[in-house]
A = this chain, B = another copy of it.
Amino acid sequence: MTRRREGATSELTLIERARRTQLIEVTIELVADRGYAGASLAAIAERAGITKAAVLYHFPTKAAVVRAAHEHALAALVADVAAAVEAAAPANRPAAYVRSMVGHLREHPRHTRMIIEAMVHDDGEHDPAARWGPLAQLIDAARLARGASGDIDPRTTAIIVGGGIDAIVAEQLHDPDYDTATAAEHLVDMLETTISR
């Protein structure tokens, strides 16, 4: 009975890749629907149409399944935002960051819940600086490019804006009619005013 290691995706057969992908997808759906607590091994197996033991054949532990699901959702977000940011001029990158992140989260609501759940629940392992660090750097660079001279704290600005993004997305999760694009522009306005000082 061979047991799949957590990494080493390069050595997996096609059907194993498919199963892993399927398990990651149902786990994301499950976490989005019922939260971390509702994503039990039994529930994951049921949604995938296989047994608990079969799930644990493809992943060493339940935690590994959830971790893989989280990493999948996060990687998609990071790739999307990074592409949008790099396509913008340095002075406009903070705005591009806000717009693309709100846009991505709106377009992938289940990924969003997965990421939020992991952020809140992943005990200790989560580093907040990983969240606000990149935006803080973009703000610094943008201010340099614009020649702004006031003394703002990029860390706090990034933290506040990050929280604003989360809140906008959370609102849209509850009220699908909420206009996140306009809200994002509102947030961009506030950010622009702050960093232009």
Residues of A within 8 A of B (CB): 34-37, 116-117, 120-121, 123, 128, 132, 152-153, 156-157, 159-168, 170-171, 174-175, 182-183, 186-187, 189-190, 193-194
Q: Is the CB of A121 within 8 A of B190?
A: no
Q: Is the CB of B162 within 8 A of A167?
A: yes
Q: A159-B171, A193-B193 are in contact. List 19 more A-B contacts (CB 8 A).
A: A128-B175, A152-B186, A153-B182, A156-B183, A159-B167, A159-B183, A160-B164, A160-B167, A160-B187, A160-B190, A161-B164, A162-B167, A163-B168, A163-B170, A164-B164, A164-B167, A166-B167, A190-B190, A190-B193
**Interface of A, helix, strand, loop or mixed by DSSP:** helix
A159 to B163, CA, bound (A): 10
With contacts A164-B163, A193-B193 taken as known, whether A128 is within 8 angstroms of B170 at the C-beta atoms is: yes
Residues of B within 8 A of A117 (CB): 120
Q: Is the CB of A167 within 8 A of B175?
A: no
A132 to B153, CA, bound (A): 26
